[in-house]
Structure 1
């Protein structure tokens, strides 16, 4: 469990208009140096009676009674410690940028056991949980938090863990696929093919792809799965080549998509390559010349570049792309905190606001299923960089 003390600085104020709260204040402990060995006992002169020391009482320090207690549950050790630290740093940066002195965020390490971390957070009086990161950790934490009437804003993208007080803020493949397919259909593409890796992600991407093409009024002419690797990919490409298609969705990382390009171009020189939200997590995607002309849909990078520069300046490291989820979770908390009395339950009904919330990743709102619906943009890989060809909507317009 960690609490970090940081100095206030100017923030990304264009994103959060109307935030009128001030920077985080944490408590540092001072340990006195040991004194000299005790000497002989001498009687003290009679004088005024000293006041009795204030007794130590259980519960939160008095100053914390006016702050909202928020727990951050992320891995701070183990194999996922890097992304956990990046999320924790992002929440610190958001507190500084919003000057939110009425919110105190305490970090609990889920690598030592997500359920144990949640129990400590609840025992400490936290009324909102940000995280966990992994879907299995959300499953462990959600029932405990639900019994305490504490909402869980997880960073997972597994929609199956959403509901009953647990929310999913992660970028889901279904929304990304729907957005890029719809854009391709509007440009005249009617025949689609799909290349899906085996496994859970590929299964969900396949379902989303079939539904998205149908809803857009197109036709899926071929759909093949593959085990990752050049040989399996080439075999899958050879199979879809038996059918006509104008665009092919490769539901894999950018590097995985690159593997398919040589065989794909032998089949069709003009077919448009489509990707998923996975591509946006690859900082070097613009330089993958094999993917020139490819489209993918993801959250906007408009504010991310400014955030990444500020993050590097403060923490001397580059942030994980996913860390913006931590930043945006704090922005949401700050907004709702205006109408949330410290010490009371978090007003979870506010999470269903139809107008949604603004963040580094653009507009988002939670549906009845507890999954964050996001305003996504479509980007094209072009000449060593990415170019936005269809901007993300600024909001949801009450729809």
Structure 2
């Protein structure tokens, strides 16, 4: 158990080291506005640059790069009547190289950039191509890098928290307490939950922080129990995941008298991966969000048929990027790839459900709400098929 905390801390330290430069994409792009974006010829193939970590020294990234490229090519083949000139550029997972190839891609005619993978690389790319009026759809889910000409495609904490708090409130579980780790991911999750509580008219029932360590989790149990009782919480929303504190909380909170029979548990992370998470006592009857299961299954099946392997969990983001570009180009407008076009209220149809890009560079995705019953995932609220905002 303790080993996974150590691994998580290493990852979070890398993220924290990037924070001093993350705001550049949003703050140093004065030329980027609602009409930013190059003019295209909708009657000719539209050049699109795909930046993926081919050449990375990290083996997992090498496999992911292949899946991202294959997903993008699958999307191109699905565009009826729309011609995309997909051009693939290798970043090796390095910010400096990503910036270089992005500039080369724009010089070679790219009208939009999809990728790269890492937050630091995405930031470097966006800053470099902003003066050229080119937008970037990165594979990150980090909202701190979003803004200006940089959009993140990954599912954000904000979208997940808002969906779950909305559902929880509709089920009469509106006094929500937050349990979060005292690290970057935990704090971002805490803030997303707090905003979701405010957005949906729920009642904040306290927030308990725990040290991101084994001892930290153990010592936080009495404080969580006391806060839940004194604030009359009827739901606990935790940022913990299966690779971190979730297994311990799942065992220890029920033992402390806060079992699923007395408290509604809500998770900011997915509880269906890895599979053994479904057997944890504390997740039984709890709620978590996930992309449209039916569409996700269809995508996996098509990908496996086309390429012979199960796609990486985030490979669908490359498909979604191409799908969005294709839908906009199909309109036949020369300004199809401007910021205002990308942020249309209607959004787009992706392989895991609907999504739309927001003017602040973040995104909103249509998610399902699921629970765990008898160690099986059961959808209790299906993913929406459309957004209720502008465009419908």
Query: TM-score, structure 2 length as denominator?
Result: 0.78
Task: Kindly provide the CA deviation profile for residues 67-105 of structure 1, in whole angstroms up to 9, marking residues without a partner as x.
Answer: 211111121223233332221111111122335671121
Once the two structures are superposed, the pairs formed by residues 211-290 of structure 1 within 5 Å of their partners are 211-243=195-227, 244=229, 245-256=233-244, 257-267=246-256, 268-269=258-259, 270-276=262-268, 278-279=269-270, 282=273, 284=275, 287-290=278-281
> Contact between 1:298 and 1:378, CA under 8 Å: does it hold in 2?
yes
Identify the residue that residue 170 of structure 2 maps to in structure 1: 186
After superposition, the Cα gap between the structure-2 partners of 1:340 and 1:159, relative to the gap in structure 1 and judged at 3 Å, is: farther
After superposition, the Cα gap between the structure-2 partners of 1:388 and 1:138, relative to the gap in structure 1 and judged at 3 Å, is: same
Moved more, 304-313 or 216-225: 216-225
Say which SS state the counterpart of residue 311 (structure 1) adopts: helix
Unaligned runs of 5+ residues in structure 2 are 1-42
After superposition, the Cα gap between the structure-2 partners of 1:280 and 1:334, relative to the gap in structure 1 and judged at 3 Å, is: farther
Q: State yes or no: 1:312 paired with 2:304.
A: yes
Deviation at 1:383, TM superposition (A): 2.3
Identify the residue that residue 102 of structure 1 maps to in structure 2: 83
Deviation at 1:251, TM superposition (A): 0.5
Moved more, 329-338 or 216-225: 216-225
Deviation at 1:127, TM superposition (A): 0.9
Larger relative contact order (CA 8 Å, sep ≥ 6): 2
Q: Distance in 2 between matches of 1:285 and 1:142?
A: 39
Q: State yes or no: 1:67 paired with 2:59.
A: no
Say which SS state the counterpart of residue 305 (structure 1) adopts: helix
Q: State yes or no: 1:321 paired with 2:324.
A: no
Say which SS state the counterpart of residue 321 (structure 1) adopts: coil
Unaligned runs of 5+ residues in structure 1 are 1-64
Say which SS state the counterpart of residue 100 (structure 2) adopts: helix
Q: Distance in 1 between matches of 2:321 and 2:152?
A: 11
Deviation at 1:275, TM superposition (A): 0.7
Deviation at 1:346, TM superposition (A): 3.5
Say which SS state the counterpart of residue 192 (structure 1) adopts: strand
Task: Kindly provide the CA deviation profile for residues 106-150 of structure 1, in whole angstroms up to 9, marking residues without a partner as x.
Answer: 221222522112122112211110012221112101122212221
Deviation at 1:258, TM superposition (A): 2.0
Deviation at 1:391, TM superposition (A): 1.7
Q: Distance in 2 between matches of 1:105 and 1:195?
A: 44
Q: Distance in 2 between matches of 1:355 and 1:249?
A: 30
Say which SS state the counterpart of residue 204 (structure 2) adopts: strand
1:85 to 66, 70, 74: 66
Deviation at 1:292, TM superposition (A): 1.6
Specify the structure having the higher radius of gyration (Cα). 1
Query: TM-score, structure 1 length as denominator?
Result: 0.77
Q: Distance in 1 between matches of 2:300 and 2:199?
A: 36
Q: Distance in 1 between matches of 2:209 and 2:293?
A: 30
Say which SS state the counterpart of residue 274 (structure 1) adopts: strand
Q: Give the 4+ runs in structure 1 shifted more than 4 A.
A: none
Between the two proteins, the alignment pairs up a number of residues equal to 333
Higher helix share: 2
Task: Kindly provide the CA deviation profile for residues 230-259 of structure 1, in whole angstroms up to 9, marking residues without a partner as x.
Answer: 332122222111122322112122343122
What RMSD, in angstroms, separates the aligned Cα atoms of the two structures?
Answer: 2.3
Task: Kindly provide the CA deviation profile for residues 321-376 of structure 1, in whole angstroms up to 9, marking residues without a partner as x.
Answer: 2111111111111111224579x884443212221111122222222212212222
Say which SS state the counterpart of residue 303 (structure 1) adopts: helix
